[in-house]
Amino acid sequence: MATYGQIPPSPAALMESLGALGYSLEAAVADIVDNSISADAATVRITFDWNDGAPFAWILDDGTGMSVDGLVEAMRLGGVGPMAARRTTDLGRFGLGLKTASFSQCSRLTVATRQGKSIASARWDLERMAHADSGWELLKGAEPGSEARLEPLKQQHRSGTLVLWELLRTGTETSLPRFLEAVERVERHLAMIFHRYLDGDAQRLHIHLNGRAITAWDPFVTWHPATTPKPLARLRDPSGDVTVRGYVLPHRDRFRDEDEHQQAGGPDGWVAQQGFYVYRAYRLIVAGGWLGLGGSREWLRDEASQLARIRIDIPNSIDTVWRIDVRKATARPPGSLRDGLIRLAADVRRSARDVFAHRGVRTGIQPDAMPGRLWRATASKRYPYAIKREHPLVQTAIDNSADPALTEALLLAIERTVPASISATPHRATEAEVDEMVLAARALMRNLVSLGVDPQAAVEQVARTEPFDQVPDIVQGLKGVD
């Protein structure tokens, strides 16, 4: 076959470009910590050293370490690629993170690793690669003069790996205060991204940053007695099951003081941090936002729903379906799960709005005061009672239902039509109420169609059925269901 011969990428240019994938400093550090977790580390020590304006940083773990061959392979771009099967606890996917994250922050990457007594180290130096025509030649050892920076690994007396970043890009152009601010951002980010490792249901991990232990930040404020968890739901999907749990966070007044309230809000604040939290093998990928989901319209991060946060757990085997990116910073649910997620989220958002508006409390009946009751009082004049989804009977019925969306549609229809709910005053449904009804109507419609009813006839039937007959533009809302 006629060819132009091998066209290898230009080394320094490719490395530089891969570093421009859009990592923040904190996301880059998190990517390195991912590798430590995959290597079963129990402790990760991170140091940022200002070094009089020539800063460097290192990340040391006490994981399994690597053999010399392993180290060389680790330095390769795309070493273990995306198609390889991985252990369920492996946070990697692309064989790129170590390199891309590092070169987004620095020009010289040295990795030293220890197994037993043997220590090996290797480095890539972009400045050297750009000047000397050294191709893809991997350098041995630390930069002359930097050997002492590998000392912490030697002193550890255990297996482990040290990643050293030199020629940091946050270098000469920043000042010491800016540098320290950046380090603080790293701390807040790691406290959030790895909170389930720091203090939760994942394998235990300690992270020290400049000598200080990082404490977990729990987005669901589960330590607060006024946080209301929703029942755990499992969404089944051919691509892989996911589990989902909604939390309605406490009203501002329930916090001890403004500090505690702000702290619970999170690094970006209450409004920005509402929504879905997607975890891949317990590691947080997406921290808030509504993933492009919604009812009649895409949901926004609005003030009134700021107390709604929803945990989604996905395994690392369905990365492609969820479109996980190299930075592990974005995820997108597959189409097949959208309706299920919308249904669960609509319920959490509704409860969160009630709490935000101080409702539920005003009725004098706490939702959880009477756990055995099937009904709870709501703040709505129109629909003063709701069926408790967390009631054991209801939960069991939903769990055992072949079509949970349809069961939910039935519950909603009962709530909306039970004679006690019908008040004389005309009621304009809120946007959230319309969204819920549309979802329920779509579930019913889908079921009718699957039973063989002609789609057009199904639309007419659903649109005539109580309570959907009350929904404006319901026919419009049933479009696209088949």
Ligand X SMILES: Nc1ncnc2c1ncn2[C@@H]1O[C@H](COP(=O)(O)OP(=O)(O)OP(=O)(O)O)[C@@H](O)[C@H]1O
Query: What residue ranges bind ligand X (CB under 6 A)?
Result: 34-36, 39, 61, 63-64, 66, 74, 79-80, 92-99, 161, 326
Given the rule CB under 5 A, which of 3-11, 30-38, 254-262, 299-307 is the region that contacts Mg ion?
30-38
Half-sphere exposure at residue 331, Cβ-oriented, CA atoms within 13 angstroms: 24
Quick one: tokens of 35? Answer: 């590798």
> Which listed residue (30, 35, 293, 340) binds Mg ion by CB under 5 A?
35
CB of 433 to ligand X, least distance (A): 42
Bridge partner residues of 98 (DSSP): none
CB of 80 to ligand X, least distance (A): 5
- Kindly tell me which of 36 and 274 has the beta carbon lying closer to ligand X: 36
CB of 460 to ligand X, least distance (A): 51
CB of 24 to ligand X, least distance (A): 16
- Please give the Cα distance from 435 to 21 (Å, whole number): 37
CB of 444 to ligand X, least distance (A): 42
CB of 34 to ligand X, least distance (A): 6
- Please give the Cα distance from 190 to 37 (Å, whole number): 13
Restricted to residues 82-121, the positions that interact with Mg ion (CB under 5 A) are 92, 97
- Kindly tell me which of 79 and 334 has the beta carbon lying closer to ligand X: 79
- Kindly tell me which of 207 and 445 has the beta carbon lying closer to ligand X: 207
b/e per residue 424-440 (b: at least 16 CB within 10 A) = eeeeebeebbbbbbbbb
Bridge partner residues of 377 (DSSP): 385
Q: Is 124 helix (H, G, I), strand (E, B) or coil?
A: strand
Given the rule CB under 5 A, which of 33-41, 78-86, 351-359, 446-454 is the region that contacts Mg ion?
33-41
- Kindly tell me which of 124 and 255 has the beta carbon lying closer to ligand X: 124
The answer to whether the CB of 481 falls within 8 A of the CB of 442 is yes
User: Does residue 246 touch Mg ion according to CB under 5 A?
Assistant: no
Which partner, Mg ion, ligand X, none, binds residue 436 by CB below 5 to 8 Å per kind?
none
Where does 16-138 show beta strands of DSSP type E?
43-49, 56-61, 106-115, 118-125
Q: Is 231 helix (H, G, I), strand (E, B) or coil?
A: coil
Which partner, Mg ion, ligand X, none, binds residue 218 by CB below 5 to 8 Å per kind?
none
Short-list 56, 16, 19, 59, CA closest to 41: 59
383-392 — which CB contacts under 8 Å span 24+ positions? Answer: 383/415, 383/416, 383/421, 384/420, 384/421, 385/415, 385/418, 385/420, 385/421, 386/415, 387/411, 387/414, 387/415, 389/230, 389/231, 389/347, 390/230, 390/231
**Residue 366: phi, psi to the nearest 5?**
-75, 135
- Kindly tell me which of 92 and 288 has the beta carbon lying closer to Mg ion: 92
Which partner, Mg ion, ligand X, none, binds residue 329 by CB below 5 to 8 Å per kind?
none
CB of 96 to Mg ion, least distance (A): 7
CB of 194 to ligand X, least distance (A): 14
- Kindly tell me which of 64 and 107 has the beta carbon lying closer to ligand X: 64
Which partner, ligand X, Mg ion, none, binds residue 353 by CB below 5 to 8 Å per kind?
none
- Please give the Cα distance from 223 to 476 (Å, whole number): 43
Q: Where do contacts with Mg ion occur on this chain (CB under 5 A)? A: 34-35, 92, 97
